[in-house]
Amino acid sequence: MPKKTYSSYFSTNFIIGRQNSSNVQVRKIQATAGGTFMVTVPKEWVEQLQLKKGDLVSTELDEGSLVITPTAPKHAGHSRTIDIDQLKDQRFLDLSITASYIQGNDVTRIFSSSDKMQPHHKQMIRQTLEGIMGVEVSEDYADHVDLINLIDPAKFSLLDTVERFSATSAAVLSDAVTALDRGDSTLAQDAYSRGSESTKVYRLMMRLAFQAAKSRKLREEMKLSDISQVIVMAIATRELGRIAYYAMWVGQHVAALTQRPDRNFVSIVQRMSKTTADMQALALKALLSKDIVSANSVFQKMPQVRQLYESGYKLPTAYEEKNAYRLSLILRDIRGIAGYAVALADDAVLGIFA
């Protein structure tokens, strides 16, 4: 069996003073003759971390707790097993593997409880991997397939990745609206494809947030101040994911049109798009810069989006039923982006006062 290598970052801490862990053990503080204090740690913990006498550990106070951290941790990655025979179809497999990935597992084993995986099972696995960044098949046997994550989270900045992801979704929406104006279905389809591809980045961001929540050391390397900021960023990532989803579908709806809309409708869509893009940019600025003025500006722009949305629906229509429906979806999706921009601004306010 080939030797596994893991490029991800792992850290395990001894935390004394926090009573919410299933691994808590009570120890008495001892005094030395020199006036200092010492505390013992369980033998099994030391063995689990592959530490020995003479190894160095760092100690620090962290929010009322005494944290003891191995200076050179040597740990295996988290892993998850999935019985493919318990999954109904491709969708269930996608959800299972994606959840394992986002939760920070570095190895996911897909096995068959019937002792033999079918060829279509392995094809399903490879299809799922097309939507996940940095995961490859490391072992492929008759009864199981092992997936390994190759991305080192310490090499990423969650804040920078969030900023780039937001810029990508804004560009997707802009191109989709340009395609509507020009009647360019090719550009619209390209916008949809880019939006669909950005799903990989969204899943990566969620994974980084989960890993940062579990590792204080990783939070420091990502320049995240504390666990509360990680929580805010995880919520904000969800909002940005919804924004990207709606932007992607605007491109798809435009590509599917068989009639060009009139200039009045296009003008309304352009104004809605510009306002929502401004709201998204302001909300992101509020989030990353802790700027409450920008957050408030987002809230003030939402009535304008609602007014444009209602104006678009009031325009007289002379379209085929399918085209009229697609145009209504375009209005709905842009309004959806504005709604999640407001939610993003709410997250920013939460972060400001955390």
- The string of pLDDT tens digits covering residues 183-193 is 999 999 999 99
Average pLDDT estimate for 129-140: 95
Q: Is residue 1 scored above 60 in pLDDT?
A: no
Tokens of 175: 């191109």
Q: Is residue 240 scored above 60 in pLDDT?
A: yes
Q: Within the chain, which residue ranges are assigned CATH 2.10.260?
A: 14-70
Mean pLDDT in the chain? 88
pLDDT 10s digits, 34-81: 778 888 888 888 877 778 887 777 787 776 778 777 776 544 468 899
Bridge partner residues of 80 (DSSP): 108
Average pLDDT estimate for 259-278: 96
pLDDT at 126: 94
pLDDT at 88: 82
Q: How would residue 13 be classed by pLDDT, with cut points 50, 70 and 90?
A: very low
- Give the CA count within 13 Å in the CB-facing half-sphere of 162: 27
Q: Is residue 267 scored above 70 in pLDDT?
A: yes
Q: Name the phi and psi angles at 35, rounded to 5.
A: 95, 0
Write down the pTM of the prediction: 0.80
Q: Is residue 17 scored above 50 in pLDDT?
A: no
Highest mean pLDDT: which of 29-33, 58-62, 84-88, 165-169?
A: 165-169
Bridge partner residues of 111 (DSSP): 83, 144
pLDDT at 316: 77
Q: Within the chain, which residue ranges are assigned CATH 1.20.58.220?
A: 156-352
The CATH fold of domain 79-151: Translation Initiation Factor IF3 (3.30.110)
pLDDT at 23: 66
pLDDT at 255: 98
Q: Is residue 308 scored above 50 in pLDDT?
A: yes
Average pLDDT estimate for 263-281: 97
Q: Does domain 14-70 have CATH number 1.20.950?
A: no
Q: What is the 3-state secondary structure (H, E, C) of 149-170?
A: ECCCHHHCCHHHHHHHHHHHHH
pLDDT 10s digits, 323-345: 999 999 999 999 999 999 999 99
Q: What is the 3-state secondary structure (H, E, C) of the chain?
A: CCCCCCCCCCCCCEEECCCCCCCCCCCCCEECCCCCEECCCCHHHHHHCCCCCCCCEEEEEECCEEEEEECCCCCCCCEEEEEHHHCCCHHHHHHHHHHHHHCCCCEEEEECCCCCCCHHHHHHHHHHHCCCCCEEEEEECCCEEEEEECCCHHHCCHHHHHHHHHHHHHHHHHHHHHHHHHCCHHHHHHHHHHHHHCHHHHHHHHHHHHHHHHCHHHHHHCCCCCHHHHHHHHHHHHHHHHHHHHHHHHHHHHHHCCCCCCHHHHHHHHHHHHHHHHHHHHHHHHHHHCCHHHHHHHHHHHHHHHHHHHHHHHCCCCCCHHHHHHHHHHHHHHHHHHHHHHHHHHHHHHHHCC
Q: Within the chain, which residue ranges are assigned CATH 3.30.110.20?
A: 79-151
Average pLDDT estimate for 131-159: 93
Which is the CATH superfamily of the domain at 156-352? Phosphate transport system protein phou homolog 2; domain 2 (1.20.58.220)
pLDDT at 242: 97
CB atoms within 10 A of CB 125: 22
pLDDT at 66: 80
**Residue partners of 20: CB distance under 8 A and separation at least 6:** none
